[in-house]
Amino acid sequence: MITKTSFVVFALALTLNTVSAQEVKQYGQLKVTGTQLTDKHGKPVILRGMSFGWHNWWPRFYNQDAVKWLHRDWKCSVLRIAVGVEPHDAYLQNPAKAKEKIKAVVDQALKEGIYVIIDWHSHTIQLNQAKAFFSEMATLYGKHPNVIYEIFNEPEKNTWPEIKAYSTEVISAIRKIDKDNIILVGTPRWDQEIHIAADDPIQGQKNIMYTVHFYAATHGKWLRERSDYALKKGLPIFISECAGMEASGNGPVNSTEWNEWMNWADKNKVSRVIWSISDKKETCSVLYPTASSNGNWKDSDLTPWGTETRNMLRSYYK
């Protein structure tokens, strides 16, 4: 029998647990100190979480209940909104749909007290559209410390001078509105040529970081060595997309390399976001099509990658 007193104690414990899990309340306004992401007191912060799949292909997961579940059950401290840009029904064709999905996730992330990355999920330069998009996002959300801007997902064929020039303009557009929130800058060849950016970083801007993406069965020690080089040169790194299989999103998970990457990221206090909340028939999808659109996923709804990812994220939760 639950007495009134025991119910009050239970409710208080639940409330305290919820408050302690609100990372933005704990860390506040993030900033970059040297190569490190730090909190409002200048202490190192490691964010860990999940990336949604492209919004135009997996829109069903872009809702407040899925955000709640990923925070409260999966223990994500950060979520990434993959705003598809070029494909059919993506941002360039249907900006209203994209903004609807962004709003659903960001609004709930604010309520949950977690960080959220608005990712311009493009492989090519779309300068004018990106400037307009991020100016709008900064106007809507720039007052909230939760928001991080990822201004170029994975540059495919552009050189670093081209990416640098593009990034400088988009950063300037954001900074006219939002002076403080973290901005993530892409690097050449799907975010694997971090060493080139390290030799010629963007100057005169604060609170920017540079992205590395890896798929452990394809990108191994050589990319960690490039990342080590970048850190030694003073370049701050944020892993905004990663997974354990091949770069195609398929093939077996290379657990040895995946664990090497996780150990490397922990050692260097590098944040990371895992790909992806989707139900496509490929290794990197964490869900089967049986999964509800609204979270509350059963073990049977999780793919092997989903089970491994959830277990790992929960293991960091204290």
User: Which residues 6+ apart lie within 8 Å of 98 measured at CB?
Assistant: 55, 56, 83, 84, 90, 91
Domain ranges in the chain?
33-315
For residue 19, what pLDDT band results from cuts at 50, 70 and 90? very low
Superfamily name with CATH number, domain 33-315? Glycosidases (3.20.20.80)
Put simply, whether the predicted model's pTM sits higher than 0.85 gets the answer yes
Q: What are phi and psi of 253, to 5 degrees?
A: -75, 130
Looking at every residue in the chain, the average pLDDT score rounds to: 94
For residue 258, what pLDDT band results from cuts at 50, 70 and 90? very high
User: How many Å separate Cα 143 from the centre of its chain?
Assistant: 19
CA angle 313, 314, 318 (to 5 degrees): 115
Q: Is residue 7 predicted with pLDDT exceeding 60?
A: no
- What is the rounded average pLDDT of the residues 103-124? 98
Q: Show which residues are catalytic.
A: 154, 241
- What is the rounded average pLDDT of the residues 222-243? 98
Structure confidence by residue, pLDDT tens digits, 132-169: 999 999 999 999 999 999 999 999 999 999 999 999 99
